[in-house]
Structure 1
Amino acid sequence: MFTKGAQVAEIFAKAVASTKGFDQHLRKVKLISCGNGRMLAEFRVGPEHLNQRGTLHGGFIAHLVDAISTYALTTHERVDTRGVSIDLSVSYLTAAADGDIIEVEACTKKAGKKIAFLEVEVRNKETNQLLATGRHTKYIGI
């Protein structure tokens, strides 16, 4: 029998592989682990992830915060929805370059009856340097 984390990992892989929508930009993102309201993913920065200055695009980082925290939330034992975003913020600390391996770790800090709070760290895997932090609040009373 599959755990909820394993089911979510399978859903993530299928959704990203088959979408023609915005989430297609997550195709290089590989899930390392997920379950209990947490998710760890990683990817190698490629040319498609770069801004005009040649560093990891801030909009892509925000997309990672949104997507990875949403999937982390769905692994929480008491949550049966992806919810709806009501607040998302990202603090950018330093840049990443083409070829860097990036880790994205999301955790559900609290899942109440109607609101869930999530936090995300985006790090350079090789140096463990924190690139960005994110906070995501979702309405889950649907």
Structure 2
Amino acid sequence: MKYHTRKWIKPEDLNPNGTLFGGRLLEWIDEEAALYAIIQLENQKTVTKFISEIDFQSSAKQGDIIEIGMEVTKFGTASLTLKCEVRNKMTRKTIITVDKIIMVSLDENGNAKPHGKTEVEYVKDRLKS
């Protein structure tokens, strides 16, 4: 799993218990999945279709730094399936795992658009011509 994004937990990210608000974390996961899929599929019109059950295993508090990891598990015809793990850099504990996030590539009319991708590509490799 590659960890691309880090977040610093600030007061506005906390719930009434003084720990990381789950809704904020899910927002960050959805955004990270979208960015990852847009870059992989090379289509800005990529949307979230499905997020499987989530499993909160620990939390984070103000001042902690977390990192969000994404991994491709499957390339569909018009979709990309990802797995996610978020971990707390301070405690080294897993905060949440999401086994399946399905992102779909769309055309200009909002219909599923085949992307033709079959493996993970890195931007640095696309630039070599």
The TM-score with structure 2 as length reference comes to: 0.71
Where in structure 2 are the equivalents of 1:124-139 lying within 5 Å?
124-134=88-98, 135-139=100-104
CA-CA distance at 1:127 after TM superposition? 2.8
Q: Larger relative CO (CA 8 A, sep 6+): 1 or 2?
A: 2
Contact 1:55 1:95 in 2 (8 A): yes
Matched, 1:62 2:20: no
Question: What CA deviation, in whole Å up to 9, does each residue of 1:42-73 have, x standing for no partner?
Answer: 02101010001100000011111111011111
Which whole-Å CA distance do the structure 2 matches of 1:56 and 1:66 have between them? 16
Which whole-Å CA distance do the structure 1 matches of 2:17 and 2:81 have between them? 33
Partner of 2:51: 88
Which whole-Å CA distance do the structure 1 matches of 2:71 and 2:19 have between them? 26
Larger Rg: 2
Which whole-Å CA distance do the structure 2 matches of 1:59 and 1:71 have between them? 18
The two structures, once aligned, show a CA RMSD in angstroms of 1.8
Structure 1: which 5+ residue stretches go unaligned? Answer: 1-37
CA-CA distance at 1:80 after TM superposition? 2.1
Q: Which runs of 4+ in 1 moved over 6 A?
A: none
Which whole-Å CA distance do the structure 2 matches of 1:72 and 1:65 have between them? 10
Which whole-Å CA distance do the structure 2 matches of 1:57 and 1:117 have between them? 25
Matching residue's letter, 2:51: L
Select the structure that is richer in helix. Answer: 1
Where in structure 2 are the equivalents of 1:1-142 lying within 5 Å?
40-76=4-40, 78-89=41-52, 90-134=54-98, 135-140=100-105, 141-142=112-113
Q: Which has the larger displacement, 80-89 or 91-100?
A: 80-89
Question: What CA deviation, in whole Å up to 9, does each residue of 1:71-118 have, x standing for no partner?
Answer: 111221x44244222211322111111111111111222222222101
- Over the matched positions of the two proteins, sequence identity in percent amounts to 27
Contact 1:117 1:138 in 2 (8 A): yes
Structure 2: which 5+ residue stretches go unaligned? Answer: 106-111, 114-129
Q: State the aligned residue count.
A: 104
